[in-house]
Amino acid sequence: MKLLGSDLIKYRRTWVLPLTLLGPFGFVLMGIIMFAMSRDWMNTLIKRQGPWLAVMDNLGMLEIAAIALGVALLASMVFDVEHRSGAWKQLFALPVSRSGVYLTKLVVVVGLILIASVLASAGTAGLWLWLDLGALPWRKLGLLALVPWVAAFPLIAFQGLLSAHIRNQAIALTVGVAGTVVALMAAKLPKWLPWALPGDAMTWVVSGDGDVWRILGLSCAAGVALAVAGALSFARRDVV
């Protein structure tokens, strides 16, 4: 808990929190623009597919991309704070556990992505009311906030690993952007890629296709395994 508290103080006056809030805000704004621009077409879709599918077919893809890019940026920022100021040496001179520091930073990213995805769901609810689509689908909105977030655990652990181990953030961020493009463009991703799970999760939330327990189980297992592997290897490294 102390680690978490002292870690959070470091992000005051940085882009970390604004970005977390800006993400969902932009997401909702784009939803509004999308509907405002093609209201007639959306109405046709709503009649044909039902409101949930019509709204989420487009927004779901957008949210996946937002999560993937947001994870890359946030993971890079929380580790770069230490790289940039050469603070690792000072930090590790204190009686703190190295792997504890590493895992704390991952927990921070996990928390920030949770905030962002809850806000995105709330924004979707707002969009729903604004469009007058009927009673709010509470359960689906709740699942929208939580399932893709859990499915992002392996991605968070992976981007954290890159950002922590490679000082130059260009690499982690380029990988993150390239991965997002892969997630958006490839219809069928190889299952072992960390970008595949949030997409599968979103497909389940939107249309009910797929096995949600498998997705959740795999995400937690792979996320924890990657996080622990990263923490162990980070704890053994020389501080630069």
Binding site for other proteins (CB under 8 A): 14-15, 19, 22-23, 26, 30, 33-34, 37-38, 62, 65-66, 69, 73, 76-77, 80, 84, 168-171, 173-174, 177-178, 180-182, 184-186
Q: How far is the CB of 2 from other proteins (least distance, A)?
A: 26
Q: How far is the CB of 133 from other proteins (least distance, A)?
A: 20
What are the angstrom distances between the C-alpha of 195 and each of 69, 181, 238? Answer: 10, 10, 30
Element (H, E) at 113: helix 98-130
Nearer residue to other proteins within complex by CB, 181 or 235: 181
Nearer residue to other proteins within complex by CB, 75 or 205: 75
Please provide the DSSP assignment of 38-58 as one string: THHHHHHHHHHH-HHHHHHHH
Nearer residue to other proteins within complex by CB, 38 or 97: 38
Supply the Cα-derived Rg of the chain in whole angstroms: 19
Q: How far is the CB of 14 from other proteins (least distance, A)?
A: 7
Six-digit token string for 209: 């296709």
Nearer residue to other proteins within complex by CB, 93 or 185: 185
Please provide the DSSP assignment of 25-43 as one string: HHHHHHHHHHHHHTHHHHH
Q: Is the dihedral of CA 61, 31, 13, 177 positive or negative?
A: positive
Nearer residue to other proteins within complex by CB, 43 or 168: 168
Q: How far is the CB of 171 from other proteins (least distance, A)?
A: 7
Six-digit token string for 107: 């927990």
Nearer residue to other proteins within complex by CB, 87 or 224: 87
What is the distance between the alpha carbons of residues 6 and 182, in angstroms, rounded to a whole number?
36
Q: How far is the CB of 78 from other proteins (least distance, A)?
A: 9
SS3 152: coil
Q: Give the position of tokens 């920022």.
A: 77
What residues contact residue 117 under an 8 Å CB cut-off, 6+ apart? 24, 63, 67, 144, 145, 146, 148, 149
Q: How far is the CB of 170 from other proteins (least distance, A)?
A: 5
